Chains A and B, each alone.
Chain A
Amino acid sequence: QSVLTQPPSVSGAPGQRVTISCTGSSSNIGAGLDVHWYQQLPGTAPKLLIYGNNNRPSGVPDRFSGSKSGTSASLAITGLQAEDEAEYYCQSFDTSLTPLYVFGTGTKVTVL
C-alpha cells in the first residue's frame, strides 16, 4: 500500500506540457524529505529521472523538471514527445513507525 498518491493517468498531444502530482503527508514529503522521480518504459526497469526534488541526472533532457511544495511534489514534462509515453513514479522516504522508502502509485502518461 503506497503512501504517495499520483493520478492514474495523464495525457497530452505532442509538444504540450503535462504535469504529474505526487501527494504525501507530514511523515514524508511534508517532513522536508526529498522526492525523486522515475520513468518506466514498457517492459523495462525504472530509470531515475529527477533526484532531490529538482535535479536531473546526466543525460536526462531538460524537458523534465521537478518541484516540491508542502506535502506535494510535481513532475512537469514540456514539449511532450512520443517517447515519453511511459509510467512515472515518485519516491520519497517515510518516517512514520518504521522508516522506509515509499513509491507513488504511478501515473501512465499517454501521448495522443
Chain B
Amino acid sequence: EVQLVQSGAEVKKPGESLKISCKASGYSFTNYWIGWVRQMPGTGLEWMGIIYPGDSDTRYSPSFQGLVTISADKSITTAYLQWSSLKASDTAIYFCARRRSGNYYDAFDIWGQGTMVTVSS
C-alpha cells in the first residue's frame, strides 16, 4: 500500500527547535516529489515547499523561505520539515503529500495523516 505516515503531535515552547517526519512506503521514494502543506487552526491549506528525494532539489514558497527547512533521507525513505526557532504563529497542522507524477503542475495524490504542532509558552 502506498502511504505516508507522519510523526506524532508536538508541543513546544517559543524559540525551541523541531523536526517532524514523513515516512514513505509502498512506492519508489526517490522518484516522486514530496510537498509540505500548512493548515492553521480553522483555516485553509497553504503550500510551504517541495523536495525531490532523488537529488534533494528543494523549492520553497516565498512565504516560508528562510523560516523552515525541508530535507529528505532516501536511505530511510523519510522527508522532514524543521524549524530552528519556533513561534506561536507556527501552531498548525502540517501535512506531507506526494506529487502524482513528474509533471510539475500535477496534483498531490497521497497525503500523510498530518502532524499537529502546538507552540505555547
Across the interface, A46 reaches (CB within 8 A) one of B61, B62, B95, B100, namely B95
CA of A44 to CA of B114, assembled, Å:
8
- Given known contacts A101-B50, A103-B45, A93 and B105 CB-to-CB distance under 8 angstroms: yes
Across the interface, B105 reaches (CB within 8 A) one of A33, A45, A47, A106, namely A33
- Given known contacts A34-B106, A48-B107, A48-B109, A103 and B47 CB-to-CB distance under 8 angstroms: yes
CA of A89 to CA of B50, assembled, Å:
19
Size of B's binding interface in residues, CB under 8 A: 23
- CB-CB under 8 A from B53, the residues of chain A are none
CA of A101 to CA of B62, assembled, Å:
11
CA of A54 to CA of B49, assembled, Å:
25
Residues of chain A touching chain B, judged by Cβ–Cβ distance below 8 Å, are 2, 33-34, 36, 38, 44-48, 51-52, 57, 89, 91-93, 97-98, 100-106
